[in-house]
Amino acid sequence: MSRIGNAPISVPAGVTIDISSSNLVTVKGPKGELTQQVDSDLSIGLEDGTLTVSRPTEQKRHKAMHGLYRSLIYNMVEGVNTGFKIELELVGVGYRASNTGQLLELSLGYSHPIMFALPQEVKVETTSEKGSNPKIILTSHDKQLVGQIAAKIRAFRKVEPYKGKGVRFVGEIVRRKAGKTAAK
């Protein structure tokens, strides 16, 4: 029994959900609009501000799709209502980040700066205060897109285990390794 799939989704005020006959779910809210094509085997019901996803059989495939699409729809509802925010920090001497509109400029210890253009759905903000690491704050109504963009930015300079330098999520714990010991 899928605990995630069976959980009902409560639709907050200001959010409208439209379900077409081909199982195309469209969620509109104050932050934006998202659409998701749901598997044709699953049935979606919306009544009294509560959305439920149900499966026809107990097959393994149906169980997997049940939890997946319920989570995707829930993330869509949360995104258009409150939005998602991911914070990255740059740890390293001379690492900097700045943005002009949707263009993010990163200085990560390479011989050249990295210019990264972000899609319009993702808003970027950079902060660099004295005494703390520079931060990149990404906000969007699409959880999948903001996570993918954060992963791409992190891939420019992954955190290395010896000094802990690189791009990391705020609050991420990095496992450190001991360096070489001096020979006698």
**What are the pLDDT digits (tens) for 147-178?**
999 999 999 999 999 999 999 999 989 999 98
Q: Which residues contact 66 (CB under 8 A, 6 or more apart)?
A: 2, 5, 42, 53, 54, 55
Q: Is 34 exposed, middle or buried (0-12, 13-18, 19+ CB in 10 A)?
A: buried
Q: 60-81 vs 143-155: helix axis angle to the nearest 10?
A: 90
* Residue 79 scores a pLDDT above 80: yes
Report the predicted TM-score, pTM, of the whole model to 2 decimal places. 0.88
Q: Report which of 166, 43, 162, 6 is spatially closest to residue 94, judged by C-alpha positions.
A: 166
Mean pLDDT of the chain: 92
Residue 182: the pLDDT is: 67
Residue 2: the pLDDT is: 59
**What are the pLDDT digits (tens) for 21-53?**
888 999 999 999 999 999 989 999 999 889 999
Percent of the chain at pLDDT > 70 equals 97
Q: Do residues 53 and 69 lie in contact, with contact meaning Cβ atoms separated by under 8 Å? A: yes
Residue 180: the pLDDT is: 84
* Residue 1 scores a pLDDT above 60: no
Domains for the chain: give ranges and CATH numbers: 3-81 (3.90.930.12), 84-169 (3.90.930.12)
Where is pLDDT greater, at 180 or 140? 140
